[in-house]
Amino acid sequence: MPTSLKQIEEQARALSTEDRAKLAETLLESLHSPVSDIERAWAEEVEHRIAAFDRGEISAYSAEDVFADARRISR
């Protein structure tokens, strides 16, 4: 008979604080894509944006303008 969620919860609560923290971290990590997948996705996005810029499909803004807008918005 498979272990029920309730039984797993009870067993987890019986663990030490340190072990519960490790278990929680492991469970949370299992919900997310591995870091390498995220890095690969961002690398692809960067390549797409650079190519779009090179084709003239998007424009660029100077860092000075970007930071000036950020300061204006944050006030």
Using only C-alpha atoms, the chain has a radius of gyration, in whole angstroms, of 23
* Domain extent listing, the chain: 1-32, 35-74
DSSP codes, the chain: -PPPHHHHHHHHHTS-HHHHHHHHHHHHHHTS--HHHHHHHHHHHHHHHHHHHHTTSS----HHHHHHHHHHHH-
pTM score > 0.85 for this model? no
The pLDDT value recorded for residue 3 is 85
**Single-letter residue type at 63:** A
The per-residue pLDDT for range 20-72, each reduced to its tens digit, is: 999 999 998 888 777 788 889 999 999 999 999 999 999 999 999 999 999 99
Quick one: tokens of 21?
């923290």
